[in-house]
Structure 1
Amino acid sequence: MKSIIGKVTLCATALLGTMAFAGSAAAQDYPNRPVELIVTFGPGGGADLMGRTMAQLMEESLGVAIPVSNVGGASGNAGLTQLRTNPADGYTIGTLISLTVASWASGLGDNKPEDFRVISVVQSSPSFLFVPTSGPHQTAEALFDFAKANPGAITVATSGYGTQDDVTLKLLSNAGIQMENVPFQAPAERYASPIGGHTSAIYEEPGDVAQFIAAGQLAPVVVFAKERHSEFPDVPTSAELGIDISGLDNYRSIAVAAGTSDEIVAKLEAAVATATASDEWKAFCAKTYTCITPVTGDAAQAMVSDFRDLIAAQLAN
């Protein structure tokens, strides 16, 4: 009996050793085929532009093609579920952004911070309310006063329920400024809605609507941040208007499924670092008002968990 047990133990040990060696060899050979990048929102939005720009720049470092797939829906959770359930072998990477993390705190989807490994947080920007320049409310004071007098009459285009767009509108409602959330899955439709008169305003980052600001079609009226934005110094913060809503910046990251090996994560992290150090990336992030020092490792993981907890605390108030 002891002999049989010993043989079984030796076989199991040998099998584990073989599996570990195979995993190590696969990591050393990574990548040897295309790596899919899942953009968790529809074409034309900020996440899409970031994902496509990053894919193009990472191809140069990794030496393989990085095709981009848009898997929108459920405030980004549809794409993340696909990322989470695909093999954790580094051949599927995706965008993980704070809009989706906020939705977890709101009870949307079944994804969790521990389901993913964040390679790098590469963008961040505070959000604003923008109004069409052809509309009747050209200041935040005018917009808020009308909303107070006419609850629900002001409609705001957002990226979805459960996101910080939705959370911000709930916080404003708690302050007596009740505005109606109108979610759009397609970014292009969201951007066009206030310009076409379908909504009264849009909750967005300036980089995502830069072309409409430059064209004089949209104007920012309030920024949800501790300080005024350096590129829009005349736009007041919500705190200046008596409603302190901050810390809900929209950040964007590249992530993989939990369980991806340290060796593969290190290769992806190096590729992203090379991308963000390039002149092409610096020009892109400057154009979209999203430049930050990239956040990696434990600090990046903590950003996701801490943001989920922050939103949960905001909703509990």
Structure 2
Amino acid sequence: MSTETPANSNEGKSETVKNGYPQRPITMIVPYGAGGGTDTYGRMLAAQLEKHLGTPITVTNQGGASGSIGTKFVHDASADGYTLLFSAETIGTYRTMGTSSLSYSNFIPIAVTVNDPKLVVVSKKSKYNTLQELLEDMKKNPGKVTMSHSGPGGSGHNQGLILKELGYEVAMTAFDSGNNALLGVLGEQVAFTNPNLSFASGYIDSGDIKVLAVFADERLEKYPDIPAFTEIVPEAKKYLSIPLTPLSLLVKEGTPNEIVEMLRNATKAALEEKEWTEYVETNSAEKLYEKYTDENSMRKFFENWESMICWLQYENGVSNKSPQEFSIPKFQ
């Protein structure tokens, strides 16, 4: 863990702030490949944030190892507010998956932005027309209905683990990306998959896939006819009350408090920009920034997320390190 001055230090203002932050361009690291949901939301946020910080923000993709390479790059950089991290949820499982020693606790949250809704989808040619039909087949044929996902520990895989906890055994098949997992459904290699809405919307509009449910406890305003998963499986609310795919803006631990506050204020203003809100609403993303508005609520959300997902993965043999080793309480 960093030995730099913590963000809540009472010492005098940093030289950076005294000299007027920001004085030069800022880099936002998206620790995944270009074109994905995290990347597109990160670039949209950066464009709005520039307006309120008055300096260019360069978005750089540093993919690999579930985002841990780009995450380490940010943590290795100076804690001066000039290197930001826009991350998906994988950072919460690095320690238990053995991917990295870093976690949410090594960063200071600027904003928890949105939750990109997860779906349950099948090919337009599929025999399944409703979620009930799919679930009934899972019950009749445990371990035989096939589901694709983007890799162990990813959000789609986590959905499969939740299905297992709810008594639905599926045959999970890993692909090397969410795109290929969806193509596996379109090519009828597997029965269903669990894409994010931002990624699947084009396929929905073209009619190439059928959406059987939103993997959440509420319907989407944009697609009011698609049922929420909890309407069919009420006991799933235990797991789906916590957003599965949060996207967060973070800075390295030790960043001076004055800079953190400047970034939070600028981000709050950016999230009110019309271009941002229209993009979020068009993609039916959940506005987490309206629910988690201060550091305490953001950190509590991260803790609850880790508590649920890390234990779910560990107890199903996905991760090899116990959450208890990192003082992560068991999800109740």
For the aligned pair, the TM-score class normalised by the smaller chain equals: 0.7 to 0.9
Matched, 1:118 2:116: no
Match of 2:222 among 224, 231, 234: 231
Residue matched to 2:70: 79
Matched, 1:167 2:128: no
Q: Does the C-alpha gap of structure 1 residues 186 and 55 become closer, same or farther in structure 2, counting only changes over 3 Å?
A: farther
Match of 1:257 among 246, 252, 256: 252
Query: 2 CA distance for matches of 1:248 and 1:185?
Result: 26
Residue matched to 2:137: 146
Residue matched to 2:303: 305
- On the 8 A contact 1:86/1:92 being kept in 2, the answer is yes
Q: Alpha-carbon deviation of 1:114? A: 1.4
- On the 8 A contact 2:93/2:306 being kept in 1, the answer is yes
Q: Does the C-alpha gap of structure 1 residues 177 and 107 become closer, same or farther in structure 2, counting only changes over 3 Å?
A: farther
Q: Deviations over 1:111-155 (max 9, x none)?
A: 222101110011124422111212232322332333344444433
Equivalent AA in structure 1 for residue 196 of structure 2? E
Residue matched to 1:6: none
Query: 2 CA distance for matches of 1:313 and 1:68?
Result: 33
Determine helix, strand or coil for the equivalent of 1:204. coil
Percent identical residues: 26
- On the 8 A contact 2:85/2:250 being kept in 1, the answer is yes
Determine helix, strand or coil for the equivalent of 2:126. coil
State the TM-score, normalizing by the size of structure 1.
Answer: 0.82
Larger radius of gyration: 1
Give the count of matched residue pairs. Answer: 297
Residue matched to 1:24: 14
Equivalent AA in structure 2 for residue 247 of structure 1? S
Residue matched to 2:47: 56
Determine helix, strand or coil for the equivalent of 1:304. helix
Q: Deviations over 1:253-272 (max 9, x none)?
A: 11111111111111211221
Match of 1:273 among 253, 265, 268: 268
- On the 8 A contact 2:151/2:177 being kept in 1, the answer is no
Q: Alpha-carbon deviation of 1:220? A: 1.6
Which one is further off, 140-149 or 299-308? 140-149
- The CA RMSD measured in Å over matched residues stands at 2.6
Q: Does the C-alpha gap of structure 1 residues 112 and 128 become closer, same or farther in structure 2, counting only changes over 3 Å?
A: same
Q: Alpha-carbon deviation of 1:198? A: 3.9
Q: Does the C-alpha gap of structure 1 residues 291 and 142 become closer, same or farther in structure 2, counting only changes over 3 Å?
A: closer
Determine helix, strand or coil for the equivalent of 1:67. strand
Which one is further off, 184-193 or 45-54? 184-193
Q: Does the C-alpha gap of structure 1 residues 248 and 299 become closer, same or farther in structure 2, counting only changes over 3 Å?
A: closer
5 Å-filtered alignment, 1:203-242, equals: 203-242=194-233
Q: Alpha-carbon deviation of 1:224? A: 2.8
Equivalent AA in structure 1 for residue 58 of structure 2? P
Equivalent AA in structure 1 for residue 194 of structure 2? Y
Q: Does the C-alpha gap of structure 1 residues 307 and 263 become closer, same or farther in structure 2, counting only changes over 3 Å?
A: same
Q: Does the C-alpha gap of structure 1 residues 204 and 248 become closer, same or farther in structure 2, counting only changes over 3 Å?
A: farther
Q: Deviations over 1:279-317 (max 9, x none)?
A: 100111011111416234221122112211122344558
Match of 1:246 among 240, 244, 253: 240
Determine helix, strand or coil for the equivalent of 2:72. helix
- On the 8 A contact 2:158/2:309 being kept in 1, the answer is yes
Equivalent AA in structure 1 for residue 305 of structure 2? F
Q: Which structure 1 segments of 5+ residues have no match?
A: 1-19
Which one is further off, 96-105 or 221-230? 96-105
- On the 8 A contact 1:94/1:254 being kept in 2, the answer is yes
Matched, 1:192 2:183: yes
Q: Does the C-alpha gap of structure 1 residues 38 and 193 become closer, same or farther in structure 2, counting only changes over 3 Å?
A: farther
Q: Does the C-alpha gap of structure 1 residues 81 and 155 become closer, same or farther in structure 2, counting only changes over 3 Å?
A: farther
